Structure 1
Amino acid sequence: MENHSSLINNYSLNCNGKLVDLSSPKIMGILNLTPDSFSDGGQFNNEKSALQHAEKLLNDGAEIIDIGPQSTRPNAEFLSSEEEIRRIGNIISNIKKEFPQALISLDTFYAETVKFGFNEGVDIVNDISGGQFDKKMFDTVAETKLPYILMHVNPSYETMHDKIKFDDITLNVNQYFSQKTNELLQKGIKDIILDPGFGFGKTVEDQMRMINETQFLGFGKFPLLIGISRKSFIYKPLGKSALDINEETQKLHLKVLKQGAKILRVHDVADAKKTILEWESSRIERGSVGEF
């Protein structure tokens, strides 16, 4: 198969005036401020433990910290924007003060939470809803001029985990990306990152197909973020738990890196860092630095 994504692969992001070069893949470390996230709920939901975990993520090799005040696992408690903001408290500003080099993405589908996060110093908006759960989201992101992570998901909060068997998952995701990126570009949002939405309303088979067809997602127009860390489509077919699939996850990470993925969203940063180093050393050995 011809590899379309290799035509355009030198991406950069403007994060609050700081230019972030994505020619080398970046790691986004997950910092859940939630009591009910599926694999680490309640571990980092106070300021002290959140700051300590942020430091560990950075020391292990993360360049982006993804702060999530609300769990989006199946059957999680639904929170208002006000409750999200209360949970965040001073955590963003404290991390920025302690680790000014860190980039912070804010995982929310609320425009009001984005406004709060922007005033606290976040660098990236990570919206699982593609602007579908809050109609003010795209306009708010446009006002902040922050990079925006666009995720493929079902159209409502209530249906986001409903399993759909797509005729052609890659085609469907690309049609969604095409429509949504056009909307974002029309509003002046140019720094767009695409997330195919692993773990949200897709069958195991379709998610494995997305892994195998990563190079065709988004047509190479925007950088791809892959978030497969501790996802059930990996561990359930193996009869394992979310915490016991690190080896399998790294093999899949290597597969998507070979197809041009630029950001890995992970819990296990140190292992993802090893995978990226392995991938980069293999590129150098093949003399293919100019490729993915």
Structure 2
Amino acid sequence: MLSDSQTLQHSYPPTLKPNHSINCNGRLVDLTAPKIMGILNLTPDSFSDGGKFNNEKSALLHAEKLLKDGAEIIDIGPQSTRPNAEFLSSDEEIKRIGTLISQIKKEFPEALISLDTFYAETVKFGFNEGIDIINDISGGQYDKKMFDTAAETKLPYILMHVNPSYETMHDKIKFEDITLEINRYFSEKTNELLQKGVNDIILDPGFGFGKTVEDQMKMIDEVKYFGFEKFPLLIGISRKSFIYKPLGKSALDINEETQKLHIKVLKQGAKILRVHDVAEASQTIRNF
């Protein structure tokens, strides 16, 4: 359960800027060197790895592999958000997660765990199981209790740019200026989060969610303009269709192209890469 001891005030050593660190349950995580978030989908229907890790044994083995390959954060996803995916309730998400969070924490106590959900109740469950980061693809728009719950937990919150409803999540919108639109959204949402007491905010521009190929390539070129130099940036382009479809390739056949784009965003200050292929991203960061 949430307790007073877990409502920590956040302070940063003078050598670290706010966008260079996050406070995860009292553990200060230095983002001066970029970190890798490895994707652990518990779903039967995710677009590239559905059904591979949807039991606890296979999920634990994959978590171990992600960590050995260089991930410091494991992002657990109980629900697919690809187009036409099955819609789950929070209760169904929690049932799917089971005891996996606590098992990973027991087996790999050094691992940071983020929980990919847009439900406040799933976050509460995950918090009591030991998660370190909230990864909400909805920006608080699909569950109005999310921001208040994030404030109660005092966990870092990943704020992603996305269309305002679950039903329109993947509707392609051509914005006059995609970077300006995303920063307007970030400005409004970060102000709301800060007012509620969420002190550690990570920004995700939302690659793969309701944006044209052209706009997403523009976003890659303009990553340096996101974040207002106040918040760390997470970039999630792994196996995304805006990369592979124009090339006539599959999601599993674009590693070289993806690593080139990773280098591009790292040069512009990206702090976290959310990826399926951890070993390859680790090599990219080592060579960066």
- Normalised by the shorter chain, which TM-score bucket? over 0.9
Residue of structure 2 equivalent to 1:47:
56
Please give the per-residue CA displacement for 1:25-81, whole angstroms capped at 9, x wherever unaligned: 000000000000000000000000000000000000000000000000000000000
Find out whether 1:243 has 2:233 as its counterpart.
Answer: no
Please give the per-residue CA displacement for 1:162-186, whole angstroms capped at 9, x wherever unaligned: 0000000000000000000000000
> What is the identity, as a one-letter code, of the residue corresponding to 1:195?
D
> What is the identity, as a one-letter code, of the residue corresponding to 2:23?
N
| Displacement after TM superposition at 1:219 (Å) | 1.7
Find the aligned partners of 2:128 and 2:250 in 1 and give their Cα distance: 38
Residue of structure 1 equivalent to 2:83:
74
Find the aligned partners of 1:144 and 1:9 in 2 and give their Cα distance: 19
Structure 1 vs Structure 2: percent identity of aligned residues?
A: 85
Aligned structure 1 segments of 4 or more residues deviating by more than 2 angstroms: none
Find out whether 1:96 has 2:96 as its counterpart.
Answer: no
Find the aligned partners of 2:169 and 2:99 in 1 and give their Cα distance: 30
1:220 corresponds to which of 205, 220, 229? 229
1:119 corresponds to which of 118, 128, 151? 128
Residue of structure 1 equivalent to 2:278:
269
Residue of structure 1 equivalent to 2:74:
65
Find out whether 1:207 has 2:216 as its counterpart.
Answer: yes
Find the aligned partners of 1:12 and 1:247 in 2 and give their Cα distance: 29
Find the aligned partners of 1:174 and 1:24 in 2 and give their Cα distance: 24
Q: Equivalent residue of 2:286, what SS?
A: helix
Find the aligned partners of 1:141 and 1:238 in 2 and give their Cα distance: 39
Q: Which runs of 5+ in 2 are unaligned?
A: 1-16
Please give the per-residue CA displacement for 1:114-173, whole angstroms capped at 9, x wherever unaligned: 000000000000000000000000000100000000000000000010000000000000
Question: What pairs with 1:154-233 in structure 2 (closer than 5 Å)?
Answer: 154-233=163-242
Find the aligned partners of 2:95 and 2:261 in 1 and give their Cα distance: 36
Find the aligned partners of 1:182 and 1:39 in 2 and give their Cα distance: 35
Question: What pairs with 1:126-165 in structure 2 (closer than 5 Å)?
Answer: 126-165=135-174
| Displacement after TM superposition at 1:218 (Å) | 1.9
Q: Equivalent residue of 2:203, what SS?
A: strand
Find the aligned partners of 2:165 and 2:19 in 1 and give their Cα distance: 34
Residue of structure 2 equivalent to 1:252:
261
Find the aligned partners of 2:167 and 2:82 in 1 and give their Cα distance: 12
Q: Is the 8 A contact 1:9 1:260 kept in 2?
A: no
Find the aligned partners of 1:254 and 1:166 in 2 and give their Cα distance: 26
Q: Equivalent residue of 1:14, what SS?
A: strand
Q: Which runs of 5+ in 1 are unaligned?
A: 1-7, 280-292
CA distance 1:138–1:45, shift in 2 (3 Å): same
| Displacement after TM superposition at 1:9 (Å) | 7.5
Find the aligned partners of 1:217 and 1:278 in 2 and give their Cα distance: 24
> What is the identity, as a one-letter code, of the residue corresponding to 2:142?
F
Report the TM-score when normalising by structure 1.
Answer: 0.92
Residue of structure 2 equivalent to 1:26:
35
Find the aligned partners of 1:44 and 1:162 in 2 and give their Cα distance: 29
Q: Is the 8 A contact 1:9 1:23 kept in 2?
A: no
